[in-house]
Amino acid sequence: MRIRTIAKLIKFYPAFMGAGITVKSINNDFTQVVSQMKMHWYNRNAVGTHYGGSLYSMCDPFYMFILMEHLGLDYIVWDKSASIDFIKAEKKTVSATFEIPKEKIAEIKKYVDENGKGLFTFHTNVVNEQGETVAAVEKVLYVKSKQFYKNKEKSTKATKKSTK
């Protein structure tokens, strides 16, 4: 199944359903995804505001999805680390936008093709309906080229063979 399809169907993922998280929009070239979470009785914390784990969950997979879609099966894309800074409590609908411009994707691909792997940092804000920041999120993704290491292994074997 394509990543683009998974992103559209993610609202049926139990963790997203349980938190009331939906994908609000995906642009045509799949470089931008917007997620949204409405306030419900089942996603409130003890003081009646959005539960912090749900705020992070609505941000978790989307940078990884964008890169996986554009880089394809010849690359491994993993979450390396993440942090969330809770700025303001919120009781209404919140959203977050995840965008990696095509130029940035091309830079990442070029870097990984030349170096085999790399770590790449992305930032987004969870905002309320007035555009005020509710939480700031940082994601670090690990990207590795499968082909780079296959070529390196072949080169190493060829060198060993020629020295014998």
The predicted pLDDT at position 11 comes to 80
96, two tokens: 């977050």
- The model's pLDDT over 119-162, given as tens digits with 9 standing for 90+, comes to 999 999 999 999 999 999 999 999 999 988 777 666 555 555 65
Name the residue with higher pLDDT: 157 or 118. Answer: 118
Tens of pLDDT, residues 60-97: 999 999 999 999 999 999 999 999 999 999 999 999 99
The answer to whether 120 and 109 have CB atoms below 8 angstroms apart is: no
- Report d(CA 160, CA 132) in Å as an integer: 60
Cα–Cα distance, 60 to 50 (Å, whole number): 16
What pTM was estimated for this model as a whole?
0.87
Given this model, what pLDDT does residue 129 score? 97
Burial class (CB in 10 A: 0-12, 13-18, 19+), 54: buried
- Look at residue 16 and tell me whether its pLDDT is greater than 70: yes
Name all domains of the chain by residue range, CATH numbers in brackets. Answer: 3-163 (3.10.129.10)
Averaged pLDDT of the chain: 91
Backbone angles phi, psi at 108, to 5 degrees: -65, -45
What is the DSSP-derived secondary structure letter of residue 28? T
pLDDT band of residue 15 (cuts 50, 70, 90) is confident
- Beta strands in 43-155, from DSSP E residues, in sequence order: 75-86, 94-99, 117-128, 133-145
CB-based burial of residue 164 (10 Å sphere; 0-12 exposed, 13-18 middle, 19+ buried)? exposed
In whole angstroms, how far apart are CA 6 and each of 33, 51, 119, 136?
Answer: 12, 24, 24, 25
